[in-house]
Amino acid sequence: MKHHRKNYRKRRNLTSVSTGILEQSNTMASELKIFSGTAHPTLVDEIAKYLGVPRGDATVNTFPDGETFVKINENIRGRDIFFVQPTCPPTNQNLMELLIMVDAARRASADRITAVLPFFGYARQDRKDQPRVPITSKLVANLLVAAGVDRVLTMDLHAGQIQGFFDIPVDHLYAAPVLINHLRSKNLKDNLVVVSPDVGGVKMARAYAEALGAQLAIVAKHRVSATEVEAMNVIGDVDGCNVLLVDDITETAGTLTAAAKILKEKGAKSIFAGVSHAVLGEMGNKRLNESAIEELLCTNSTPYAVGEKVTSLSVAPLLGEGIRRIHHDESVTSLFDIV
């Protein structure tokens, strides 16, 4: 009898220990960790603040020969890991940093790794538009999956079909709700026309026009080179109207400023521009400052959204909420709604 009681106590103690280990494991698996590379730590800090968690401790630096070194300085075994890294300039450096961080996390036994790409570099190389050229956005998708990424969270891809380049889940958010809510506060509704600077952006322009209760127009353009655009004609009436030019990305501001010039010639009263991603350099800011555009509204998806005429709106709450919902296995669909 004593022997049976002894075995029962032993089994009960083992069960108790096993339950404790399981509870500890579940606690670790549910813990969210957010890390940043060197691309845009300010945005990552804003996202971490929104989520109420500290930014993860990681060392990311460069050796004298240009190689990237990464070390994650805390335990991430069984954790839900989010790496936030826009692949903006220096594009190759930032992309390589992300791949190396992912590899480090995978080898450290992270439970799930999500790559958060506020800005997806190489998105415009999404098809073969001439002989013997690569489809680089597909290559980047393959590299991320091969490195160990389990899921991608991104915003305003240049081409929506890039989601299909990944063999893992992709959550594609839109900056439109952030930009439109700000535009409504500017009281531009009266006599407003939303203009797409090219035929390819009509779908986006129509969404803005419907949300703002505005008319729609299109600028037919001809691209001369990667940095030079020749605007051709305006389809629609902008005479005496407030104009909002919308696009997904601007770098040299060639498309926007060429469109603004012809819109002004057609009688536009005031011209504003709204873009999801501003990757502005010296040339872009110079063109904006010399153009008819009064203000460029954009998001802080990259650290280059700065300039005399630039107003940068934070997407940290949008991305932070997307991260929170992914972590808790909730739907992100309602984040698309424009209230």
Which residues are designated catalytic? 221
The tokens describing 236, both together, are: 């629609």
Q: Report the candidate in 31, 73, 71, 70 with the shortest Cα–Cα distance to residue 53.
A: 31
Residue found under tokens 């990305």: 249
Which residue in 132, 176, 137, 144 sits closest to 158, CA to CA?
A: 137
| 3-state class (DSSP) for residue 27 | helix
| Tokens describing residue 251 | 């770098």
- Helix or strand run (H / E) with residue 184: helix 176-184
> Which amino acid is present at 82?
F
Non-local (6+) Cβ contacts of 91 within 8 A are 121, 122
Q: Which pair of structure tokens corresponds to residue 73? A: 């300085």
Give Dmax (Cα) for the chain. 101
- Report angle CA 209, 175, 184 to the nearest 5 degrees: 45
**E strands of 85-168, at which residues?**
112-117, 151-155
In whole angstroms, what is the distance from residue 95 CA to residue 87 CA? Answer: 6
197-200 CB contacts, 8 Å cutoff, 24+ apart = 197/221, 197/231, 197/245, 197/246, 197/247, 197/255, 197/256, 197/258, 197/259, 198/255
**Which residues are CB-neighbours of 20 under 8 A, at least 6 positions away?**
none
Phi, psi of 278, deg, nearest 5? -110, 115
Taking the C-alpha atoms of residue 122 and residue 154, their distance in angstroms, rounded to an integer, is 13
8 Å CB contact between 116 and 81: no
